[in-house]
Amino acid sequence: MGKLVAIARMIARTMGYIGAFAVVAMMLHISLDVVLRNLFRISMNTVPEIVARYYMTALAFLPLGWLELRRQMISVELIDFALSERVRQYSDALVMVVASVIYGFLAWTNWDKALSETRVGTLVEIATYKMPVWHSFYFAPIGFTLATVISALLAIGYLNPTLAAQLDEATE
């Protein structure tokens, strides 16, 4: 189980870094477009599509597993103060199981969509250029799949002290 946690941590961290890189790349790409348009009257027609199809989807979906692993997703704890430690652990495990099921469903449907778009070879027509965008449909299923695995590990970790310690180390 320790190796699985280490692999999940490595992949989640890598996806988080790719998401962070997407933010920086998007900022530089948009800035370059603005500078070229205002100084030299050169327009990069594909910027809106690249931003919407690639950068935004990468930064929205790829870091999901990293956020789950670090327990940085938004949570509401209305009655946690009234629960005993053991009941709270069961509650947290149940929440992670439900999250795993939801992430799994989202991953499954998005893999189907990504494969469908790949078969079709989805393009966006911009002026006289046809830009392939089918690649961008893989960001969501990759992010949801990783979040599914990590949520399942967290669910087990809430009930298994040894795995919980490994998961806590993985967030550092």
Q: List the structure tokens of 92.
A: 């947290």
Report the residue count for the chain.
Answer: 172
Quote the pTM value: 0.92
The arithmetic mean of pLDDT across residues 25-43, rounded, is 96
User: What pLDDT is recorded for position 110?
Assistant: 98
CA quadruple 50, 52, 54, 56: dihedral, nearest 10? 140
User: What pLDDT is recorded for position 92?
Assistant: 93
Half-sphere exposure of 121 (CA within 13 A, CB side): 2
Q: List the structure tokens of 61.
A: 């979906």
Arithmetic mean of pLDDT over the chain: 93
Distance CA 61, CA 167 (A): 21
Instruction: Decide if 59 contacts 22 (C-beta within 8 A).
Output: yes
User: 121's torsion region: left (phi>0), alpha (psi -120 to 50) or beta?
Assistant: left
Band of residue 172 on the pLDDT scale cut at 50, 70, 90: low
Distance CA 142, CA 35 (A): 34
User: What pLDDT is recorded for position 168?
Assistant: 82
Torsions phi, psi for 125 (to 5 deg): -90, 120
User: What pLDDT is recorded for position 12?
Assistant: 96
Instruction: Decide if 15 contacts 143 (C-beta within 8 A).
Output: yes
The arithmetic mean of pLDDT across residues 63-73, rounded, is 94
The arithmetic mean of pLDDT across residues 125-146, rounded, is 94
Residue 136 has pLDDT above 80, yes or no: yes
User: What pLDDT is recorded for position 1?
Assistant: 78
Residue 10 has pLDDT above 90, yes or no: yes
The arithmetic mean of pLDDT across residues 29-53, rounded, is 94
Residue 100 has pLDDT above 90, yes or no: yes
Per DSSP, helices labelled H in 41-138 are 47-50, 56-61, 64-69, 85-120
The arithmetic mean of pLDDT across residues 11-38, rounded, is 97
